[in-house]
Amino acid sequence: MRIIKVTNVEQFAAKILPKQPQNNKTIVESILKDVKKNGDTAIKKYEKKFSGANIFSLRLSQTEIKNAYSKVSKTELSALRLAKARLEKTESIIKSLLKNKTINNVGIKISKKFVPIESVGCYIPGGLARYPSSVIMSVVPAKIAGVKRIVVVSPPNSDGKIDPLTIVSADICGAHEIYKTGGVQSIAALSFGTKSIPKVDKIVGPGGSFVTTAKSMISDQTGIDMLAGPTELGIMADNSANPKFVALDLISQAEHSNDTFCYLITTSEKIAKSVNKIVSELIPKIKRGKIAQSSLKNNGFIGICKTNSDMIKLANLLAPEHLQIMTKNSESMASKITSSGLVLIGNNTPSSASDYILGSNHILPTNGFGKIRGSLSVLDFIKVNTQITSSKKSLSKISKHLEILTNAEGFTNHFEAVRGRLNWKKIGLKKKLKNLVQ
């Protein structure tokens, strides 16, 4: 890993951020248009093209779901259920804070109700890999929110099958439908709808660059959670940190893919050199070592800052998906972090554990979006429903101010809609008097 002395935090942050790959929007757009026009036929064509799978029925049958359980061990099932229970507890507490409220203001009643989205699609990466943990992270919050229709899509392998762990996770978490499709074609199906896959109101879940581009391109008509990129891990550490722990944590996230962004920020040159040495020693001995080595060599760095304040400033500018704080005063340092997707405090809170079973969600903002949002949660599956009731008396009290504001903006007919109501009885009385005279 590169060891760099940070003299100017702002300039360093601007230069060190990895350049985002140019997504092939032309390919994504052509697939989206094809699925929109040709539906299931196009989906099956792309599954054959990308995975080699011949898909006859896109939706998993109850028999297929039942058979998946026979391929999952009791220990695996127990681990899945524990991870599910941990996240359920967290999300249930968040939901319990959302209380319906009614506000009365001079005769005007405003009701605020928290209601679930009707339908969501959860994208689960697959094909050559398995991500049952991502099923838990996306389906559980939707279930706790009360979403009526939860759809899971995941790319099949060359045999046309989804990994059994993924299927079982979706089933125990409460997914209503599971489909054997992935990539851009699955995003198109969820957004536009096909004969087999009715469209959804919102799409959530992590995916590769093509899936992310597809989510971006359909977001003008279908809701999405976020545009998540490759995994990011920033670690802030001082002399009190165990360099072996730091090295292991960097490798744990770097093993995801060649394009992860994992780095150490420290004030200690000693820690910097120790971590770098341990990483170099471990890489040749571990599984997925080539992936981790490529990522840490091309994208990773160790930044040596002058002060703790500079470390905090740099972390906030980079806004990593995960930020681990392994310092003497970790709680104090954490209180000054405003932009990371998830902050993990202390020497025994590794990001790898949070990816699975600590009770937090691992679907997190990347590419600096931690500055504006946090992890996927029950909040992503709930909308605020507002209802207002006003009386003629309350309209009368604010009519002068309404007239001033509508005239100021040039929308005079806005006020006429109010004036008509206020003068209704007066106009009716005049007509009656006129008829009597005649």
Which structure tokens are listed for 313?
């400033």
Paired with 152 in beta bridges are: 122, 178
Instruction: Considering the candidates 322, 331, 401, 416, report the single residue annotated as catalytic.
Output: 322
Element spanning 43, H or E:
helix 40-51
DSSP 277: H
Q: Is 256 a catalytic residue?
A: no
Instruction: Give CA torsion, residues 52, 53, 58, 64, to 10 deg.
Output: -150
Max Cα-Cα span within the chain: 106
Place of tokens 């990371």: 340
Instruction: Considering the candidates 47, 91, 255, 321, report the single residue annotated as catalytic.
Output: 321
C-alpha–C-alpha distance, residues 202 and 432, integer Å = 55
Q: Is 322 a catalytic residue?
A: yes
Paired with 4 in beta bridges are: 303
C-alpha–C-alpha distance, residues 412 and 395, integer Å = 16
DSSP 136-184: HHHHHHHHHHT-SEEEEEE---TTS---HHHHHHHHHHT-SEEEE--HH
Cβ neighbours of 302 (radius 10 Å)? 25
- Pick the closest to residue 32 from 187, 182, 179, 224 (CA basis): 187
Place of tokens 């990347």: 366
In the sheet that holds 382-389, the strands lie side by side as: 101-105, 108-116, 382-389
* Residues 6+ positions from 115 with CB-CB distance below 8 Å: 146, 382, 383, 384, 385
Distances in whole angstroms, Cα of residue 52 to Cα of each of 49, 128, 132, 326? 6, 12, 22, 46
DSSP 388-408: EE--HHHHHHHHHHHHHHHHH
Paired with 261 in beta bridges are: 232
DSSP 59: B
Angle of helix 183-192 relative to helix 40-51, nearest 10 degrees, comes to 160
Which structure tokens are listed for 421?
């109501």
C-alpha–C-alpha distance, residues 88 and 144, integer Å = 7
Active site residues: 321-322
